[in-house]
Chain A
Amino acid sequence: MRSALGGGLGLQLELHFSAMQKTMDPYDAPESTPRQHPSCSLKEYFLAATPLQRRLESVRKQATSFVPTPPRRRIPQRSQLQEDVDPQKVAFLLHKQWTLYSLTPLYKFSYTNLKEYSRLLSAFITAEKQKGLAVEVGEDCNIKVVFSTLLGVKGTQSDPEAVLVQILSKPQLPSEDREAKALWTGWFCCVFGDGLLETVSEDFTCLPLFLANGAESNTAIIGTWFQKTFDCYFSPLAINAFNLSWMAAMWTACKMDRYVAATEFLWSVPCSPQSLDISYAIHPEDAKALWDSVHRTPGEVTQEEVDLFMDCLSSHFYRHFRIHLSATRLVRVSTSVASAHTDGKIKIICHKYLIGVLAYLTELAIFQIE
């Protein structure tokens, strides 16, 4: 139904009594929220000389500030992409659902050895898939692993280049001219990861955000190989409701030439035996209008604004349906920029704001590994 009420806010309500989704709230546990890391002061730099000490300093500092000054983040700006970016590769990253992971720094990863890694990883995958059989490092039966860099997918010059890993199925017959089909894709990136970069030595490569698309079993095999080879650690990166609200606000704030999708929120009511999902869709222009009315500081988003934005949405909802959304849990946000699910799944839609979205995700990943 579409309600005509509500001062310019077109609103759609759907109530799903979904039997499929029985997920209860995994985020009931209080979680501290990520915050921006103040750059090391000069004094600190001298006191804490080695990377490990700097790392500890930052951990202590982070844990100390339980009541942070309200974080501010920049609204993603258009065309932050570097110039040398390959548009084809970027297009390849869009409109796909990626599962997010955080990743600790890679030890002795070298950009000059990508070919070698392709060879070793493909041997490893073959070996894993045919456990117990003799397999030799070298060419394989039917898969091909390709490592490549995603030039330009980074925030600053000091960010390391993003790395793309693809598993392609080889055509069965050499004569076949078909293009190799991608069975699995994953990429590692670091966008505005200065805080993390400061705290590791040069033996490490910081690519804290890992995004995977493809069979989970493949992700597991490749993750295991990376963990074994570069002594790193993957953990699933979930996005809690707090961060989803931030995403909603920041993405609504983005200037768009053309909206391709409605701004939609999915709230979940943890009730037994089946959870109740409330989908709340707003026309993107209405959402933008609401945002503009709560937005004060130009170019930035503050915690108060985020809270206010979400409060407005829920009070509007309450006026019509007498349901307190604050008592439910936000599980998904989708906008024309990107959509994110609390399970740690993301789909980036807008090419212009790719870097902005990645910057926030990198921040979340860094927060998780600290």
Chain B
Amino acid sequence: MHAVMMPQKTGKNYQAQNRPSQGSSSYQTNLSACEVKQKPSDSKENNPMQDDEHADDQDGDVLQIAMEYFEKDPIRSLRSKDKILEKHLITVENVAWKNGLAPETIDILLNVALSGRFGNAVNTRILKCLIPATLISEDSVVKAVSWLCVGKCSGSTKVLFYRWLIAMFDFIDHKEQINLLYGFFFASLQDDVLCPYVCHLLYLLTKKENVKPFRVRKLLDLQAKMGMQPHLQALLSVYKFFVPTLISVSLPVRKKIYFKNSENLWKTALLAVRQRNQGLCPEPRKLMLGPANIRPLKRKWNSHSIIPVLNSSSHTTECGKKEMNLSEYLSSSGSLPLEQLQRFPQLLENIHCLELPSQMGSVLNNSLLLHYINCIRDESVLLRLYHWLSQTLQEECVWYKVNNYENGKEFASFLDTIIRAESFLHEGFYSCEAFLYKSLPLWDGFCCRSQVLQLVSWIPFNNFSEMKPLLFDHLAHLFFTSTIYFKCSIIESLKELLQNWLLWLSKDIHVKPVTDSPLDTSLCESMNSVFKLVHYVGWLSTIGMRLESNSTFLMHFILDFFETACDIYLIYNLPLVVLFPRAIFYSALFTLDASILNQLCYIMHRYHKNLTAAKKNELIQKAKSKLSFSSKTYKEFNCCLTTMVGCLWTSKPFKKGIRFSPETLEKLGVEEHKRSLNLVYHSSLLGYAVSFLLQDFIETLTELNIILVLGTLQKLLYLIGERATLLLLC
């Protein structure tokens, strides 16, 4: 029998799970469902879903001690009335009902309960609280069954164990080895008390290959002995279902309820486990009964989560054949059910015969299927996803309906899931685009802010002029009326939008070679859209800078945007160069912050490279390309560059671009305006100048020097004053 060593950190790190198990090869490594998606819910660890991690830590420690007690103290166990035992039991019960137990904890406790070390009462209590956090290891079950053979536990404990097994059947990670014990379970049918439960278990466990003539005979014998028992009939009907030829007895058709509901002991706990396994917060779902919500029906309908659970499609069987033959369906091995899909290689092997999920929305939570969705271009798949996502967004959107804000958290996490999927696919969903068009006009700019802005950055490439009234105008309103931080986030998400569009376009342009004219015009249109987007951001930035009185913070975000925008030609290989607005150029040039000046110089440098490269290419393939850059762009850039060089380097500012007549300058009392903006005296570099002076002269500090230094500083300060006046003029 294997040593049961379950990985402790499940789920949190996808990489970690896929790592082959280190150490002994006898470890149980294939923890099936954990690999797709699972919340870390090991009670010994911090549970991030809990608010009070501290309390959880304590829980974990206490549980640890309790487990050590149960594991290593066989002698004391004789005194079962022990207070310590009671304390530990309570600990286990608390943790179990709150968070569920880790597989290895369940393993230990099962051992304890079935080995007969304690009395019946204790065993019952332990069994009742064996609620898994997520899954139960198959090995634990196999070990537990082996205890049944030893005969140390009482009949009632055995019954409870079987009931537990039936209730938890779905949470056992594998069933192959349990199925190997089929013969053992079958033999337990002899026991009159156990018989109903064993029947139920076998009912769940039976596969076609388990149906043997001798078993059928045995069952029929039992039926003859005990009469028409519903549980026996159930098992017989399963047998008959698999091998109709073996069983000639007629079974009543009307009666379909064979088993008493044995899981009701754990009913609430099971619900919690299911929710946990679906990756939901364990907190109880609030039902909205607010007056504004006319019918909170939908809540009741999809009670578990917004995103449907992954299920294989049933269309193939339902619609392919008139009469669905379940046994045929079960034994068919043609296609791979989605529930079995765990790893990427599996996906590659079975990509031709994969069954699509019955509800397309479930792919959002499954990265493997997202891969699949990405590479197939089946229109109906996309339409199904589109319809589902559009409706769900519309129904769940918290600001769409009044007083719906209670579900804000849930909606935000739903949006997060969508954004994760979008960034995984590097592609936006059309439903989200439509959703933004509909909902952005009603958005307060606050609720789910980061999510909405991320959705904006994933809007698929589109005609800008068409989108402007739908989206960008509303965004502009929000931009102008919000705080500086919101302004920065908008500029940032627009930068991401630009990057996504450029990536998409550059990919697209390589797919279709630019040869024939209709494509050329479409390329022209695309470039026009990008141009308008950059232009729009320039416009936003200009007004934003004025509103925020030339905030350096905002300027950083704006220049970040233009760092992307200036490199369109060279990095993305798209025939477009858009300059930034003059206002941005000047406020960056006369900045007080050295890093902004630095960034500006870099952007100018990249513009220069792009424009030069464009010019060169244009000369080479002049005949072919319709996409020539207008000479206006070059003139504009040259003008900026001259101004910049004039200010920073040659000390001849205002020869081009902004010009002042000598009289104006005289009136202002700025005498030495020429030098005041060059590298030495530039106010943003003042800090460096001062530190240079201090550094150099501090060692040889004489009185003379001090006078010199102070003089220089005075001059610098004076120049700053002049510069400020100049800035006001600009």
Give chain A's interface residues, CB within 8 Å of chain B. 22-26, 28-30, 32, 50-52, 55-56, 59-60, 63-64, 66, 104-105, 107-108, 110, 113, 116, 120, 126, 130, 132-141, 200-201, 203-204, 216-217, 219-220, 223-224, 227-229, 231-236, 238, 342-344, 368-370
Given contacts A66-B469, A108-B319, A134-B203, whether A344 and B384 have CB atoms under 8 Å apart is no
Which 6 pairs show the lowest CB-CB distances between chains A and B? A104-B387, A233-B391, A63-B437, A26-B292, A203-B380, A24-B291
Give the A-B pair count, Cβ closer than 8 A. 162
Q: Would you give the 0/1 interface string for B120-143, flagging 1 where the beta carbon is closer than 8 Å to chain A?
A: 000000000000000000000000
B438 / chain A contacts, CB cutoff of 8 Å: 32, 63
Q: Across the interface, which residues of B come within 8 angstroms of A50, CB to CB?
A: 379
> Which residue of B has the minimal Cβ distance to A342?
B294
**Which B417-447 residues have a C-beta within 8 angstroms of A?**
430, 433-434, 437-438, 441-442
Which of A50, A60, A217, A343 counts the most B-chain CB atoms under 10 A from its CB? A60
With A130-B257, A133-B257 already in contact, the answer to whether A231 and B324 are too (CB < 8 A) is no
Which residues of A are found within 8 Å of B315, using beta-carbon distances?
Answer: 107-108
Give the residue among B253, B294, B382, B400 with the most A Cβ atoms within 10 A: B294
Binary contact track B273-304/A, C-beta < 8 Å → 1, others 0? 00000000000000000011111011011100
Residues on B with C-beta less than 8 A from A369 are 387, 390-391
CB of B442 within 8 A of CB of A231, answer no
Task: Judge whether B291 and A23 touch: CB under 8 Å.
Answer: yes
Q: A135-B257, A220-B300 given as contacts; is B380 within 8 A of A236 (CB)?
A: no
CA distance A105 to B308 in the complex (A): 17
Contact A141 B437 (CB under 8 A): no
Q: Within the assembled complex, what's the spacing in Å between the Cα atoms of A369 and B237?
A: 45
> Which segment, of B61-69, B101-109, B258-266, B703-711, faces chain A?
B258-266
How many whole Å from B349's CB to the nearest CB in chain A?
Answer: 26
Most A CB within 10 A of own CB, among B308, B383, B394, B401: B383
B128 to chain A, nearest CB (A): 17
**Can you list 13 A-B pairs, Cβ within 8 angstroms, ordered by A?**
A26-B401, A50-B379, A59-B434, A60-B437, A60-B470, A104-B391, A108-B319, A113-B322, A135-B256, A232-B387, A233-B388, A343-B295, A369-B387
Contact call B263/A140, Cβ cutoff below 8 A: no
CB neighbours (8 Å) of B391 from chain A are 104, 233, 235, 369
For residue B701, CB closer than 8 A to chain A, the reply is no
Q: Does B185 contact A (CB under 8 A)?
A: no
User: Which of A116, A204, A228, A344 lies in contact with B311, CB distance below 8 A?
Assistant: A228
> Considering only CB atoms, which chain A residue lies closest to B315 in the complex?
A108
- Measured between beta carbons, the chain A residues less than 8 angstroms from B301 are 220, 223-224, 227, 234
Known A223-B301, A224-B302, A231-B360: A204·B380 in contact at CB below 8 Å: yes
Among residues of A, the one whose C-beta sits closest to the C-beta of B259 is: A134
Contact residues in A for B402 (Cβ distance below 8 Å): 25-26, 28-29
Which of A107, A120, A137 has the most chain B CB atoms closer than 10 A to its own CB? Answer: A107
Fill in one digit per residue for B397-424: 1 if any A CB lies within 8 Å of its CB, else 0.
0011111000000000000000000000
Q: Evaluate contact between A137 and B380: CB separation under 8 angstroms.
A: no
Query: Per-position contact with A for B374-388: 1 when CB-CB < 8 Å, else 0?
Result: 000001101110111
The answer for the CA separation of A220 and B297 in the assembled complex, in Å, is: 7
Does B358 contact A228, Cβ atoms closer than 8 Å? yes
Are A29 and B395 within 8 A (Cβ)? no
Kindly identify which residue among A22, A136, A200 contacts B383, using a CB–CB cutoff of 8 Å.
A200
B254 on the interface (CB 8 Å rule)? Answer: yes
CB distance from A207 to the nearest CB of B (A): 13
B residues less than 8 Å from A66 (CB atoms): 469
Question: B253 CB to closest chain A CB, in angstroms?
Answer: 6
- Residues of chain B within 8 A (CB-CB) of A110 are 319
Contact in complex: B294, A236 (CB < 8 Å): yes
Minimal beta-carbon separation of B427 from chain A (angstroms): 14
Report how far A139 CA is from B256 CA in the complex, Å. Answer: 9
Interface size of B as a range: 35 or more
Given A107-B384, A135-B257, A116 and B318 touching (CB < 8 A)? yes
Closest to B311 in A: A228
Q: A22-B291, A63-B470 are in contact. Are A51 and B253 (CB under 8 A)?
A: no
Out of B200, B379, B384, B394, name the residue touching A235 (CB < 8 Å). B394
Chain A residues contacting B259 (CB-CB under 8 Å) are 133-134
A229 to B315, CA, bound (A): 8
Is the CB of B550 closer than 8 A to any CB of chain A?
A: no
Complex CA–CA separation, A26 to B292 (angstroms): 4
Q: CB distance B293 to A52 under 8 Å? A: no
CA distance in complex: A29, B443 (Å): 11
Q: Separation in Å of the A332 CB from the closest CB of chain B?
A: 13
Once bound together, how far apart are the Cα atoms of A216 and B11, in whole Å? 38
A residues near B360, Cβ cutoff 8 Å: 231
| Interface pair B318/A219, CB less than 8 Å apart | no
Question: A49–B430 Cα gap in the complex (Å)?
Answer: 16
Contact: A219 with B297, CB < 8 Å? yes
Chain A residues whose C-beta falls within 8 Å of the C-beta of B318 in the assembled complex: 113, 116, 120, 229
Contacts of B470 in A (CB 8 A): 60, 63-64
Known: A132-B263, A231-B388. 14 other contacts (CB 8 A): A23-B294, A51-B379, A55-B386, A56-B430, A63-B437, A107-B380, A134-B203, A141-B254, A141-B256, A201-B380, A224-B301, A229-B318, A233-B391, A234-B301
Q: How far is the CB of B719 from chain A (nearest CB, A)?
A: 54
Nearest-CB distance from B477 to chain A (Å)? 14
Q: 1/0 per residue B314-335: CB within 8 Å of A?
A: 1100110010101000000000
| Docked-complex contact A60 and B291, CB < 8 angstroms | no
Q: Of A201, A223, A232, which is within 8 A of B379 by CB? A: A201
- A182–B308 Cα gap in the complex (Å)? 30
Whether A133 and B261, one on each chain, are in contact in the complex, defined by CB atoms closer than 8 angstroms, is: yes
Choose one: B294, B399, B403; the contact of A344 (CB below 8 Å).
B294
B599 to chain A, nearest CB (A): 37
Complex CA gap A135/B258 in Å reads 8
Query: Which residues of B sit under 8 angstroms from A219, Cβ to Cβ?
Result: 297
Known: A24-B291, A26-B294. A52 touches B382 (CB 8 A): yes
| Min CB gap B246→A, angstroms | 18
User: In the assembled complex, which residues on chain A have CB atoms less than 8 Å from the CB atom of B433?
Assistant: 56
Contact bitstring B355-374, A, C-beta under 8 A = 1, else 0: 00011100000000000000
Residues of A near B253 (CB, < 8 A) are 138-139
Contact A25 B292 (CB under 8 A): yes
B292 — which chain A residues lie within 8 A by C-beta? 24-26
Q: Does B466 contact A (CB under 8 A)?
A: yes
Out of B257, B400, B442, B469, which one reaches A134, CB within 8 Å? Answer: B257
Residues in chain B near residue A133, CB distance under 8 A: 257-259, 261
Question: Is B326 touching A51 in the complex (CB atoms < 8 A)?
Answer: no
Instruction: Let me know if B144 is at the binding interface, CB within 8 A.
Output: no
Interface string of B455-480 (1 = CB under 8 A from A): 00000000000100110000000000
Give complex CA distance A295, B302 in Å.
46
Determine the distance from Cα of A229 to Cα of B263 in the docked complex, in whole angstroms: 27
Least CB distance, A307 to chain B, in whole angstroms = 23
Assembled-state Cα–Cα distance A55/B383 (Å):
9
Report B169 CB to chain A, min CB distance, Å.
11
Distance between Cα atoms of A241 and B200 in the complex (Å):
56
Given contacts A55-B383, A107-B380, A126-B256, contact A60 B261 (CB under 8 A): no
Contacts of B179 in A (CB 8 A): none
Task: Tell me if A233 and B380 are in contact (CB < 8 A).
Answer: no
| A113 CA / B242 CA spacing, docked (Å) | 25
CA distance in complex: A173, B242 (Å): 32
Known contacts A116-B324, A204-B380, A235-B391; is-contact A52 B430 (Cβ 8 Å): yes
By a CB distance below 8 angstroms, the chain A residues around B386 are 52, 55
Cross-chain contact A231 with B401 (CB below 8 angstroms) = no
Specify which chain A residues have a CB less than 8 angstroms from the CB of B399 in the assembled complex: 29
- Complex Cα–Cα for A55 and B308 (A): 24
A51–B382 alpha-carbon span in the complex (Å)? 10
Cα distance A126–B297 in the bound complex, in angstroms: 20
A342 to B319 CA separation, bound complex (whole angstroms): 38
In the bound complex, how far is the Cα of B394 from the Cα of A32, in angstroms? 13
- Give chain A residues whose Cβ lies under 8 Å from the Cβ of B257: 130, 133-135, 141
